[in-house]
Structure 1
């Protein structure tokens, strides 16, 4: 049923929760997990540090995030592919899914509500609405999110 499972990550607790689900499914179905991090430096282009410095930092963060997923996959005896790409997160997730013919996208959700959701938007929500393949969303436990950020999700 599932040969290739895409797990987009931003390194957050919500993304980590999705990884656990993706690895369980991949192990059950003998699938490959694709760990994807999208570098979107456009939101930081007004900083004095400049886009190049920000992009480099985001690329390092992305490489570390997908490496953690690959390590977890190896420990679970699941094959993994790592990718760090530039662009707008939801668009690149959908493009990667299409280009690699993934069977399932597994994404975490932060569970933002109200003004936070309105202002920040939801990459997961956009993927769910636009995807032409199944998307499994995994809600991060609010306690885990609070531990990681110091505030409730």
Structure 2
């Protein structure tokens, strides 16, 4: 199987940076393109006193930080001769949105970081990586 179109969900964590570097190695070997996808979530604690202006400001700040980090990764890819694109989307369900994005754009591989949570942490916090691995229609490589 040829991995010509690789998706890297990027959440600014060290694990997602390691996943990007792994995807970069794969891309060099297969002459592939990489797309970085960052899902930005607003305030998850909505209640009757919710103010959307605060949510919009939070999203704007998250987007700015994400763009700065993505630019660094794109520069690293350019030095390696790998073509990259990036997309930042507002998301209510990261798992659903990553899986939908991957399927709609026919990615051959998803390379993503995993925090490696177990036990109660995994139960309480859930696992985005596990959800994507279970629901994606293409191979998923988890990097710890």
TM-score, with structure 1 as normaliser:
0.84
1:97 has 2:97 as partner = no
Q: Distance in 2 between matches of 1:97 and 1:69?
A: 20
Unaligned runs of 5+ in 1: 140-153
1:51-66 equivalences under 5 Å are 51-66=55-70
What's the CA shift string for 1:74-125, capped at 9, x where partnerless?
A: 1211000111011121111111111211100001001112222111111101
Specify the alignment match of 1:111 in structure 2.
Answer: 116
Q: Distance in 1 between matches of 2:118 and 2:36?
A: 27
| Backbone CA RMSD of aligned residues | 1.7
Specify the alignment match of 1:31 in structure 2.
Answer: 32
Indicate if the aligned counterparts of 2:9 and 2:98 stay in contact, CA closer than 8 A. Answer: yes
Unaligned runs of 5+ in 2: none
What's the CA shift string for 1:99-153, capped at 9, x where partnerless?
A: 21110000100111222211111110100010111000011xxxxxxxxxxxxxx
Indicate if the aligned counterparts of 1:41 and 1:58 stay in contact, CA closer than 8 A. Answer: no
Q: Distance in 2 between matches of 1:77 and 1:99?
A: 26
- Say how many residue pairs are matched: 139
Indicate if the aligned counterparts of 1:37 and 1:66 stay in contact, CA closer than 8 A. Answer: no
Specify the alignment match of 1:149 in structure 2.
Answer: none
Once structures 1 and 2 are overlaid, which stretch shifts more, 101-110 or 113-122?
113-122
Residue 32 (structure 1) shift: 0.2
Specify the alignment match of 2:5 in structure 1.
Answer: 4
TM-score, with structure 2 as normaliser:
0.89
Q: Distance in 2 between matches of 1:65 and 1:44?
A: 26
Q: Distance in 1 between matches of 2:70 and 2:37?
A: 6
Indicate if the aligned counterparts of 2:103 and 2:136 stay in contact, CA closer than 8 A. Answer: no
Runs of 4+ aligned residues of structure 1 deviating over 4 Å after TM superposition are: 44-49
Select which of 75, 78, 92 maps to 2:79.
Answer: 75
Q: Distance in 2 between matches of 1:68 and 1:120?
A: 29
Indicate if the aligned counterparts of 1:9 and 1:65 stay in contact, CA closer than 8 A. Answer: no
